[in-house]
């Protein structure tokens, strides 16, 4: 959500960027530099179509904002080498999650795209691996796990069945959509999520989410600068293992709520109403 992104935007003194999105979209972008990295943070903006003025959440704005931003940066010959999807999420206590835990995604999948037709079943689940960031996980003291995505805040019996089939540790409303757009651009990606509620707990999701959103947002704001400091100026091989050599980096961070010559660090900030 925009409220989650604001502290980071202010902390890094990022400025509004009006050339990233078409004027017909509600999406917002902010850019600046931090050490050797050039940063872009995006948010999904507010709902104008239905006139509610609430934060745009869910897979539709997430996929579109990510695609348009990556496309624009690529047109500017500023290839984004890494996108970070940052925001809140629901956690599964059966998988060891607790309120306030920081998670880095190992993969994403959908739990509400149920298409029981041969070949379409796998497409509906749409599992996509995240960039493996073991060194960053150690630096943050973060847990790792699969993030399952759906367009509803709550979850019913059939959702729980498919989330279990996805072997999910956390749940949100955007991660799989963001990953899909990244895959189209061949942009590496991972999620940095903070748990606001327990999906398999006994409290109503909306109540627990609102109760813990402030605490989770604070944890997110503590984890993100550490992640940026750790990643900025390093080659991919230094924080994800022996996958790349070299130091040139563009990164992106999408809030569930990423540039110029040299290393670039992009932050795609969109609304993450997890759960």
Distance CA 169, CA 162 (A): 13
Match 């809030």 to its residue by tokens. 255
Catalytic residue among 4, 101, 112, 208: 4
Asked whether the beta carbons of 158 and 140 are under 8 A apart, the reply is no
What would the 3-class secondary structure string for 89-128 be?
EEECHHHCCCCCCEEEEEEEEECCCCCCCCCHHHHHHCCE
Enumerate residues 6+ apart whose C-beta is below 8 A from 77: none
Asked whether the beta carbons of 84 and 253 are under 8 A apart, the reply is yes
Active site residue 258: no
SS3 (DSSP) at 267? strand
Match 């902010």 to its residue by tokens. 30
Catalytic residue among 55, 197, 256, 258: 197
Phi and psi at residue 45, in whole multiples of 5°?
70, -165
Distance CA 106, CA 200 (A): 20
Active site residue 4: yes
Active site residues: 4, 197
């Amino acid at each position: 959500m925009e409220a989650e992104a604001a502290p980071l935007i202010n902390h890094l003194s990022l400025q509004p960027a009006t050339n990233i999105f078409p004027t017909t979209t509600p999406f917002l972008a902010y850019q600046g530099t931090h050490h050797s990295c050039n940063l872009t943070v995006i948010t999904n903006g507010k709902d104008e179509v239905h006139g509610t003025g609430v934060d745009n959440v869910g897979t539709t704005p997430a996929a579109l904002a990510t695609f348009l931003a990556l496309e624009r940066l690529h047109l500017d010959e500023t290839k984004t080498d890494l996108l970070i999807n940052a925001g809140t999420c629901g956690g599964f206590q059966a998988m060891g999650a607790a309120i306030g835990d920081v998670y880095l995604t190992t993969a994403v999948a959908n739990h509400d795209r149920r298409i029981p037709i041969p070949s379409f079943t796998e497409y509906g689940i749409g599992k996509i691996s995240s960039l493996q960031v073991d060194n960053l996980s150690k630096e943050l003291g973060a847990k790792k796990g699969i993030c399952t995505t759906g367009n509803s805040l709550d979850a019913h019996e059939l959702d729980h069945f498919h989330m279990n089939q996805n072997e999910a540790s956390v749940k949100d409303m955007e991660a799989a959509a963001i990953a899909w757009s990244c895959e189209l651009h061949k942009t590496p990606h991972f999620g940095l999520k903070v748990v606001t509620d327990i999906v398999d707990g006994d409290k109503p999701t909306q109540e627990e989410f609102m109760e813990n959103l402030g605490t989770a947002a604070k944890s997110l704001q503590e984890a993100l600068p550490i992640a940026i400091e750790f990643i900025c100026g390093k080659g991919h091989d230094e924080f994800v293992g022996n996958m790349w050599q070299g130091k040139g980096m563009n990164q992106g961070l999408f809030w569930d709520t990423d540039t110029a010559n040299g290393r670039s660090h992009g932050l795609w900030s969109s609304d993450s109403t997890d759960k």
